Structure 1
Amino acid sequence: MGVPLIPAGVVIIGWSKKLGAVAEAFFPESLRLSPDFVTQVFSAHFRENLNNFTPMIMLQVAGRKVVSYLTDNGEEKRCFALILHKEEKTSEWFEPLKRLASEITEKDDVKKVSSLYKKFILEKGKRWPKR
Structure 2
Amino acid sequence: MYDAFKWIHVISAILLIFYVVLPFLAGGAAKPDTAAGLHRLNRIGQYVLILSFLTGGYMVSRAGMSTTWMVAAVVIILVMFAMAGMMGGPLKRLKAGNSGTAESVRKLRTFSIVAAVAFIMLVILMYNPTWFA
TM-score with structure 1 length normalisation?
Answer: 0.30
Larger radius of gyration: 2
Q: As a proportion of its length, which structure holds more helix?
A: 2
